[in-house]
Structure 1
Amino acid sequence: MSETIAFGPFTLAPRERLLLRLGAPVALGARAFDILAALVARPNEVVSKVDLLGLVWPDVTVDEGSRRFHIANLRKALGEGREGTRYIATLTRRSYCFVAPISETLGLHPAPLEVAATYPLANLPGLLARMIGRTDDAAALSAQLLSSRFVTISGTGGVGKTTVAVAVGHDLIEAFAGAVHFVDLGALNDPALVATTVASMLGLSSQSDGALVAYLADKRVLLIFDTCEHVIEAVADLAARIFSAAPRVHILATSREPLKVEGEHVHKLRPLACPPEDLDITVAVIQAFPATRLFLERAAAGGALLDLDDIEAATVASICRKLDGVPLAIELAAGRVESIGLQKTTALLDERLALLWPGQRTAPARQKTLQATLDWSYGLLSESERQVLRRLAIFIGHFSIEAALEVVAGGIVGKEHIFSAIDGLVARSMVAARPAGATMRYRLLDTTRAYVLQADTDEAALEGLAAAFNFIGAVGYGSGKPFDKSGCAEASTGWNQIKQKYLNR
């Protein structure tokens, strides 16, 4: 059987030179078919006019009009423009890019990828048609899970933990003979129901913790516990007991913070890579980074007709950097391009409205908007962690622990508790940390900082921030005190923003 490629309602069989739409053949000229096959073989890659001519018309001289004629016929056959559909993007009038999500299968009439049809016990959600920038993560996690048995995928809200966990489940379904069980804990409000939910999913008549652990003692299964952070104590206790008593059970958890129990290995899922600011941004460059590729794909899926030049490519890169490469944030922003355009999308990123941009109707409630995602994370913090987070919002960019101690301390939280609060914020993925030599540097993601600054701030909190800012002014630069110089500058800029927003209202 030959390989086929599916996109939208179409199935392309290159070897048979056949294009089907909902199972019916599509009339397509030979050159138009060759153009489609060449572009589909390079999804989300820029194919220049010269390269396309070499692929479709090798050793033949073709004029510009002929190329445009066949491209136009191909677009007509695909129905581009109807109800906002978009498959082929023209970039700067000199190159093309196939932008629709694709999937590869075997045979002309592939059966739906329903796990349950082959493995009745499995309950995995379906795979995304195209997963951008996470293939290496899924492969590494699959190998780690087989060797270590217990892995938690941690990371900020919207970074793609569930997407990767589902991909790992599909990767390993044959290794576990179909015994892969996905447990969505996101809808639970009562931690006491965690074990009951798992037992019910396994079809056990007795739903006690002890009966569940005893049942699993000699089983070889993969359990995927999804969205654990709001019931983390109960999940951590159950996972630790299963790991200890059931040596053939493998556990994959997703959580905004690690479970912190014996046997757990943590895989921190990082945001998607963005083009750096010091790079000369072009249309070709943004195709090389997963964050910008995702933006282009989701914008096209939303009906946006993007014929980018290099200036607009730099705008796309700037948007993705502003959103810190977080897939959910990128998808929500990309979804606005069709209705308000690229420039207006950029301009609105700093507004509260951006936090309320809606996503997919089928998304969990906590991920329908950035506001909902951050509300979910913020609600899991202790009061002291919230107070520390609000004060850390004075920083724009990276800061040191010394700078944080000086800004945060001041009566509301004692210094002895600040380290614990910052540890908690890092663990819950509300504050990002990275090593810088022998020390650590910290920062709030831009979306998190925008959310914190939108929160109600009382006069006492503002007075505390004012005191912190006055300290910065008193210390100055080069004082010899252990206050980070760049931290001073970043905090000064941040305070000016906060003062403008709250004290002059």
Structure 2
Amino acid sequence: MNNLREINSDTVLRFGPYAFHLHQRLILDGDRPLRMGGRALEILQVLVEHAGAVVSKDALIAHVWPTSVVEEINLRVHIAALRRALGDGPNGQPYIVNIPQRGYSFIAPVQHDRAGTPVLVETVHKPQHNLPARLTPVTGRDSIVGSVVRQLPVRRFMTLIGPAGIGKTTVALRVAELLLQHYRDGVWMVDLSAIDDPSQLFDHLSRTLELDVGAKALAQRHALVVLDNCEHLLERCRTVVDDLLASAPRLSILATSREPLRAAGETLLRLPPLTVPPASAIYSVDEAMGYSAVQLLVSRARARQQGFALRQQDLKAVREICRRLDGLPLAIELAAAQIDALALVGLQAQLGNCFQLLSQGRRTAVPRHQNLKAALDWSYERLSPLEQIVLQRLAVFKMAFTLGAAIGVISGAMLLPANLVSVVESLANKSLLSVEQGNGVTRYRFLNTTRTYALEKLENSGYLRAFELRYERYISRTHWTSVGQVVLQFVE
């Protein structure tokens, strides 16, 4: 709806074809108002008022977010949005340039005027969205978030993949938050874990996006849809994504899944764990805090225990905790919740029983994120019976293994080698096994937490000791075969 507001002796900053009415917080391109968010306008005002000078990133952040602690990526996203909205200046260069190691500068000439003419203004509504309020900062994901923020508006369809607890939903929500100002018709989160029947997917999507006339209502929308937890509805998700991208050319889709959707035009981004300290010693608190897994552990511990500080004598325990938990954000957050009761040394000592230790979840989280076991149950319960058996038996491997080793240890009359190969590859696609390439050989490896979970399942099945013996015989046979080859080479 349009409304008429008087500009009373308003200061107007003019550059190129634009008029920036400061009192109204309005930018006109001729007679057309530009849609910009409040933060972007504040950044632009500082830069334009200091045209020709370099404004540091710290100064911009301090001005725009005076009472908040924010990441530099927030600033970069708004700068990118401003550049897109303004286009290039009269000289063919962007109006805003980055000065490496210093900050940003507005390089176009600026004229200061006074205005007293009424201007017809189209009211700019706040971006529409259904994103939950963020309660904690995102740690260690700036690079990945920035990459998705830059690529998604161009590529239109990206899928974040990774194992349980790696933080796919956290990253997707952060990307969505940072792109709120980019999508004029909103950013919408659609949690697919709430449904199990593929036939319900489209109705669930329509209700979340408040579509009255089905997918046709999206045809002209400039919006972002986040499809969270697609792994159990892959085929139906693939069909819906294909249809939406074809019928709505201004729509972008960000999916999260434990395996690829394999839809047309899909760009995959596999989330790595947070960085963990090396097995070798770390010598200072500052060195330890250079690893994002340690940063998250300390941040969450401080939130639980006032006055918590990482000390020199804690470094060995912190290194072991982060490594044993594979740098998984969910596992680290749950472990940090126990520090006030156990202290770091006590927490380290209890890691052998990690599922009992990490069972005290977040009551406000969805069930699959309330504790580590629930997150793995979500994946395990959606495996076929054969995949469940193979996952259990492979857990006897303490190190990375090849397909040949897997066949040598767990295949049999009921599990033929040809079937085993396809199942192992399927488990890797589902992010339950990690894949390593080296010297032309493919190896598979468990995360420590996944292996502990699978071993517990194997023990409950009654076959743990039998497959441990098969593993020991295979390793012994392989070892003596290798020794024999060395001896033969020496004799020759």
Equivalent residues of 1:304, 1:337 under 8 A apart: no
CA distance in 1, matches of 2:484, 2:157: 45
Q: Counterpart in 2 of 1:132?
A: 139
The counterpart of 1:143, out of the listed 140, 147, 150, is: 150
Equivalent residues of 1:152, 1:254 under 8 A apart: yes
CA distance in 2, matches of 1:151, 1:269: 12
In structure 2, the gaps of 5 or more residues are: 1-21, 23-57, 63-67, 75-123, 486-492
Q: Counterpart in 1 of 2:356?
A: 354
Deviation track 1:454-473 (CA, whole Å, cap 9, x = no partner) reads: 22443456435533433333
Q: Counterpart in 2 of 1:310?
A: 312
The counterpart of 2:469, out of the listed 466, 471, 495, is: 466
Q: Counterpart in 1 of 2:384?
A: 382
Q: Equivalent residue of 2:193, what SS?
A: coil
Equivalent residues of 1:161, 1:254 under 8 A apart: yes
Structure 1 pair 307–139 and aligned structure 2 pair: CA distance change class (3 A): closer
CA distance in 2, matches of 1:304, 1:380: 41
- The reply to whether residue 295 of structure 1 matches residue 297 of structure 2 is yes
Q: Equivalent residue of 1:267, what SS?
A: strand
CA distance in 2, matches of 1:352, 1:297: 21
Q: Counterpart in 1 of 2:347?
A: 345
Q: TM-score, normalised by structure 1?
A: 0.68
CA distance in 1, matches of 2:239, 2:440: 34
The counterpart of 1:450, out of the listed 443, 449, 452, is: 452
The counterpart of 2:163, out of the listed 156, 161, 164, is: 156
Equivalent residues of 2:434, 2:446 under 8 A apart: yes
Q: CA RMSD in A?
A: 2.8
1:126-205 equivalence runs, <5 A: 126-205=133-212
CA distance in 2, matches of 1:180, 1:352: 37
Quote the offset at 1:359 in angstroms.
Answer: 2.4
Equivalent residues of 1:183, 1:226 under 8 A apart: yes
CA distance in 2, matches of 1:281, 1:334: 22
Read off the aligned partner of 2:323 and give its amino acid letter: R
Quote the offset at 1:217 in angstroms.
Answer: 2.9
Deviation track 1:428-452 (CA, whole Å, cap 9, x = no partner) reads: 1111112223222221111111111
CA distance in 2, matches of 1:215, 1:184: 20
Read off the aligned partner of 1:123 and give its amino acid letter: N
Quote the offset at 1:157 in angstroms.
Answer: 1.1
Read off the aligned partner of 1:420 and give its amino acid letter: S
- The reply to whether residue 245 of structure 1 matches residue 247 of structure 2 is yes
Quote the offset at 1:410 in angstroms.
Answer: 1.8
Quote the offset at 1:326 in angstroms.
Answer: 0.2
Quote the offset at 1:384 in angstroms.
Answer: 1.5
Q: Equivalent residue of 1:194, what SS?
A: helix
Read off the aligned partner of 2:477 and give its amino acid letter: A
How many equivalent pairs are there?
Answer: 371
CA distance in 2, matches of 1:356, 1:382: 26
Q: TM-score, normalised by structure 2?
A: 0.70
Structure 1 pair 134–242 and aligned structure 2 pair: CA distance change class (3 A): same
Equivalent residues of 1:281, 1:314 under 8 A apart: no
Q: Counterpart in 2 of 1:320?
A: 322
CA distance in 2, matches of 1:397, 1:244: 45
CA distance in 2, matches of 1:320, 1:352: 12
Q: Equivalent residue of 2:194, what SS?
A: coil
Q: Counterpart in 1 of 2:338?
A: 336
Moved more, 305-314 or 445-454: 305-314
Structure 1 pair 436–279 and aligned structure 2 pair: CA distance change class (3 A): farther
Seq. identity, % = 34
Read off the aligned partner of 1:427 and give its amino acid letter: N
CA distance in 2, matches of 1:397, 1:359: 29
Q: Counterpart in 2 of 1:434?
A: 436
CA distance in 2, matches of 1:480, 1:191: 55
CA distance in 2, matches of 1:309, 1:203: 51
Structure 1 pair 246–458 and aligned structure 2 pair: CA distance change class (3 A): same
Moved more, 159-168 or 244-253: 244-253
Q: Equivalent residue of 1:261, what SS?
A: coil
The structure with the larger Rg is: 2
Q: Equivalent residue of 2:398, what SS?
A: coil
Q: Counterpart in 1 of 2:400?
A: 398
CA distance in 1, matches of 2:432, 2:181: 36
In structure 1, the gaps of 5 or more residues are: 2-36, 42-100, 107-116, 483-505
Quote the offset at 1:339 in angstroms.
Answer: 0.9
Equivalent residues of 1:119, 1:177 under 8 A apart: no
Quote the offset at 1:102 in angstroms.
Answer: 3.9
Deviation track 1:241-287 (CA, whole Å, cap 9, x = no partner) reads: 21233222111001111111211111001110011112534211111
CA distance in 1, matches of 2:409, 2:125: 58
Equivalent residues of 2:455, 2:464 under 8 A apart: no
Equivalent residues of 1:155, 1:256 under 8 A apart: yes
1:104-143 equivalence runs, <5 A: 119=126, 121-143=128-150
Read off the aligned partner of 1:463 and give its amino acid letter: A
Equivalent residues of 2:334, 2:361 under 8 A apart: yes
Equivalent residues of 1:410, 1:464 under 8 A apart: no
Quote the offset at 1:187 in angstroms.
Answer: 1.5
Moved more, 434-443 or 145-154: 434-443
